[in-house]
A and B are shown apart, each in its own frame.
Chain A
Amino acid sequence: MAVKIITDSLSDITGDLVGELGINVVPLYVRFGEEVYRDRIEMTTDEFYRRLVQDAALPSTTQPTPHDFLEIYQKLAKETDEILVITLSSKLSGTYQSALQAKNLLEGKCRVEIVDSQTVAMGLGLIVVSTVKAARAGAGLDKLVDFVQRAMARSHLICYFDTLKYLAKGGRIGKAQGFVGSVLSFKPILTIKDGVMSPITRVRSKAAGIDYLSNSAANFPNVEALAVEHCTTPDDAEALVERFSSFFPRERIYRSTISPVVGTYAGPGALAVSVLEAEKA
């Protein structure tokens, strides 16, 4: 029986890709005032960003409940006796904790292993994609846990935020705190390090930001997988794909949108590039 793989909606794995990979994606929750939506299921990404900009109150986000995970564990336990859960960074959300609590509630002989990916967005998504391949090649649960841990070191996420407004208001910004409160306006370039948002540098315009993202991706010598994501500006993301196609097969570049949960902090206009380096032989 093959290992079944679960991730959360912050992996930004959506639509057809979910089916192709044969994985389960557990949604987080987005809340506007009293209204609660399941990420990407009950509220589309476009609708979310429209409201993010228009609504006076900022939305908040919540992890899936242990029960959400338990339901999926129970469903999958009928088909397999090995489940691997790969969650977004436990320092950004309690999703990992919920997955863990659900594991303790699960009865029966199905084994569940949960890995905190220490990253988010397609930084997490590419780890999941790569792990699915390893699972299809026949790796068992223990081997896969080991595989994910090694893949984490190969995964790099680089983000461009078009505004600092949401970063400042949203909290949970880790080391990026130092970027808030500048007299001069600039656009931050951020990454995720040790599971929290971390500053890389600053640029003064979107064009300079796109240059930065494309140069950093091009600097990796050996790329296994590449992903480009946007919040509200697909044209900018396409411009990046265009540039990347000079060194990486265009059809293999994953395109996705940044989850509303991350978008709460990133704000409209953000872009993200994820690079999964190839394993050293």
Chain B
Amino acid sequence: MKQVNTIGGQDLREMFAAAAGWLEKSSSEIDALNVFPVPDGDTGTNMLLTMRSTIEEAYRAPDNSAAAVAQAMAKGALMGARGNSGVILSQILRGLAQSLAEKETFTAVELASALQQSAAMAYNGLSNPVEGTMLTVIKDVAAAAQAQVAGDGDDLIPVMEAVVDAASESVANTPNLLRVLREAGVVDAGGQGLYTILEGALRYLRGEMEQMRFRKPQIIVGDIHATKLPEMIAADEIPYGYCTEFLLKGEKIDTGKIKKKLEKKGESLIVVGDEAAVRIHIHTLDPGEVLAYTADLGTMHQVSIRNMDEQHQDYLEMQREKAPAVDTGIIVVVAGDGLTEVFTSLGASAVVPGGQTMNPSTKDLLQAVERVASDKIIMLPNNKNIVAAANQVQSLTEKTIEVVPTKTIPQGVAALLAFDYEANLETNTQLMQKAAAAVRSIEITRAVRATRLGGLEIKKKQPIGFLEGDLVAVGNSTTDVLDQVLARLDLEKAEVITVYCGADAETDEAEQVSGSIREKYPQLQIEVIQGGQPHYDYIVSVE
């Protein structure tokens, strides 16, 4: 096995050049991950441009010592830093350069302490550090390097391996730390970029330049899925005026003072650099005010002011390109967080809250129709009392509306699943109707009062079961009622049973219910989902 005990300036430069090349291969995919701090979709590109400037400057280093090259790289990164991620990357390189000052070469132990310094500098540059971003990744990386060198050996390769592993884990964990990532079902783009850079560096150390030519970096996938549509995320993260960034050159510039002054002028403020050159990045409503202040402190370079609304549009555009090309929008009526997620993750374009005992108005439906970008719309009312309102929408809009008259949640899910991305509106309406008709729907709730219905004597609060909307069973327990309803069905040909637990269903009981189905019908595939719907403790579909 190859062993590397020290790294000099030349290797340091080549290592980062290789890392930049590696990053380039996935920069567009990293762009598409981007949702934080603003979903503008340019993180990959920004990091790549920053790396290019870093490498260019590295070749201008006065000599080939690690110190000189690291210093040049830090300078190049600062001069060329773009966006939040670029600026943080430049801070990481600055920490590296500080730690390697006056060193001809560096060892594993020195690398580990340099990474500590990088992490400290990265946090330092931000007025409001947020976890679940590349900051967390560099921190985890530094800790992993420290732990590895505390263990054994002088070889730098295992240290870098520990670094890359830690980065990968840390990136996969970012959605757990940052809500907006979780909702978008992505990992942090900056973290992914940093991981890719580190991995590229490791591959260089291992001597894998040849393989790198024919391979691509992997995008890390967290154990998460999107719960919100891109439009919803863009709407949540309210754009903040203009993304303003520039390089300020002068003499004896006081970064602390600038930071303090600009803190109140906007968000995502970053002020980094030294007395001679400072990179400033801020999302502000009034870029003029920011520039007027800094103009007195020195000369401004590479001034970039971008309207973040436009960046938003680009982001949405990019997400649309990523998604299947659909010119048909699907609007569903559903209540409950879990069920909303089910429909959204299956590609519903808009969700109108509603269901049993809370029917949306025609106007609510019409608003959703107007909101969806498509001119052709399929509506899934998912309740028999909402079908009529849905049918009225066509007379109020220019758009073409087809209503697939689903009367239950299982019918709605089956219809949405059967949507054919290649088919036209007419064919899809037929396919979806057919799929809705093929599924059996069971709903279980509790009687609101004592009554006698369809030959059944019902006490108040007793569990009652509906099959296709008809009351068919009453019993002392939910399990009992469900058994009665299932007994009415021919399960010979059934394949999948899905149980959606309601907001009021108790966990113990839900387990009992699903356990009893599993036991009785071992040949079937059983899936239990937290639907969170009101009114019905359980909704069960049999397919």
Contact = CB atoms under 8 A, between A and B. Distances in A.
Contacts of B345: 181-184
A183 B342 contact: yes
Given A62-B214, A183-B225, A183-B345, A175 B324 contact: yes
Contact of A62 (B215, B226, B417): B215
B297 to A, nearest CB: 46
A178 interface: yes
A179 B224 CA distance: 14
A204 B225 contact: no
B341 A183 contact: yes
Interface string B332-352: 000000100110011100000
Interface of B is mostly: loop
A191 interface: yes
A208 B338 CA distance: 25
B323 A191 contact: no
Interface string A50-75: 00000000001011010000000000
Nearest to B346: A182
A181 to B, nearest CB: 3
A205 B421 contact: no
Interface in A180-232: 180-186, 191, 193, 198-205, 207-208
Nearest to B416: A202
Contact of B421 (A60, A65, A169, A201): A201
B420 A205 contact: no
Nearest to A193: B422
A52 to B, nearest CB: 16
B543 interface: yes
Contacts of A63: 214
Interface in B120-155: none
Contacts of A185: 527
A205 B525 contact: yes
A202 B525 contact: no
B214 A181 contact: no
B498 A171 contact: no
Contacts of A171: 29, 216, 218-219
A200 B338 contact: no
A184 B346 contact: yes
B419 interface: yes
Nearest to B531: A183
Interface in A217-270: none
Contacts of B488: none
B496 A205 contact: yes
A59 to B, nearest CB: 12
Contact of B214 (A94, A180, A186, A193): A94
A177 interface: yes
Give the one of A65, A176, A198, A201 with max B CB within 10 A. Answer: A201
B221 interface: yes
Contacts of A65: 214
Contacts of A184: 342, 345-346, 413, 417, 498, 527, 529
Contact of A60 (B215, B495, B543): B215
Contacts of B215: 60, 62
Interface in B199-251: 211, 214-216, 218-219, 221, 224-226
A183 B421 contact: no
A168 interface: yes
Contact of A180 (B29, B225, B419, B498): B225
B418 interface: yes
23 contacts: A63-B214, A175-B323, A176-B324, A177-B324, A178-B322, A178-B347, A181-B225, A182-B225, A182-B342, A183-B345, A183-B529, A184-B413, A184-B498, A185-B527, A193-B422, A198-B324, A198-B421, A201-B421, A202-B419, A204-B496, A204-B543, A205-B525, A207-B495
Given A62-B214, A180-B225, A199-B324, 11 more contacts: A175-B322, A177-B322, A177-B323, A181-B185, A182-B225, A182-B346, A183-B225, A198-B421, A201-B431, A202-B418, A204-B543
Instruction: Please name the 10 residue pairs, one residue from A and one from B, whose CB atoms are nearest each other, closest first.
Output: A181-B225, A205-B495, A178-B324, A182-B345, A202-B417, A201-B420, A204-B496, A178-B323, A199-B421, A183-B342
Interface of B: 29, 185, 211, 214-216, 218-219, 221, 224-226, 322-325, 338, 341-342, 345-347, 413, 417-422, 431, 495-496, 498, 525, 527, 529, 543
